Amino acid sequence: MDTLSCDTTLLSLMRSNPAYDYSHELETQEVSLMDWIWQKIMEFLNDVFGEITGNHITTPLIVMVGLALIGLVLWFLYKKRPELFLRNAKRRMLEDEEGDTIYGIDFDKEIQLATQQGDYRGAVRWVYLQTLRYLSDTHQIDWQLYKTPTQYEYECREESFRELTNHFLRVRYGHFEADTSLLDEMCRLQATLKQKMVVPVTQEEGGEA
């Protein structure tokens, strides 16, 4: 009876030949986030400029377009979530050199004093801490010393509070200039937030006595 035999020499040669290394295509390759982003950008550029890339568009121009797209994405993220780009925002949180609590403070007095002294940056901070005190008292947030402004945004998802937090972060950690118009805007947002947080009182139905 005829039997099949294996040519071990030929099998060894085939295994050493990269052309027959089919398992290599099935292996998962680690790709960094930047490599993945760059790959997607190049695929997009090839789809848009594929027909003329080889003749008219040079590599530097493609790189410039790619960088412009990255810059646009970063700008969009900065406008929506500025705290992601603010240095030491998580570590510094809400404390300053004088204190870090929202209790035992006459906020109206501190805001008025800061405004009279032209310290609008300090006034903005006091307005924000006053807002946190209000949200804590009304059980909209669970105030803790270690928490960041972003964490409070997750607890209170009102748009006015998000805008107020963004203003605070820009001034407090982004070194944006604070002035009387910004302080007025902060106060307006605070008033809007308080108005939305008011729980309507329902009267019990009943006949007149």
pLDDT computed for residue 172 by the predictor: 84
> pTM higher than 0.75, yes or no?
no
**Structure-token match 């960088």, residue found:** 67
The two structure tokens encoding residue 177: 């200039």
**Structure-token match 């105030």, residue found:** 143
Neighbours of 118 (CB within 10 A): 11
Q: Is the pLDDT of residue 206 over 60?
A: no
State the distance between the two ends of the chain, measured CA to CA, in whole angstroms: 113
Q: Using pLDDT thresholds of 50, 70 and 90, give the confidence band for residue 145.
A: confident
**Structure-token match 């027909």, residue found:** 51
The two structure tokens encoding residue 5: 């035999």
User: Contact 132/139 with Cβ under 8 angstroms?
Assistant: no
CA–CA gap between residue 190 and residue 64 (Å, rounded): 43
**What per-residue string of b and e applies to 66-79 under the rule 16 or more CB within 10 Å gives b?**
beeeeeeeeeeeee
Q: Using pLDDT thresholds of 50, 70 and 90, give the confidence band for residue 201.
A: very low
pLDDT, tens digit, for every residue of 49-107? 654 444 455 566 666 766 777 887 777 776 666 655 554 444 444 444 444 578 888 99
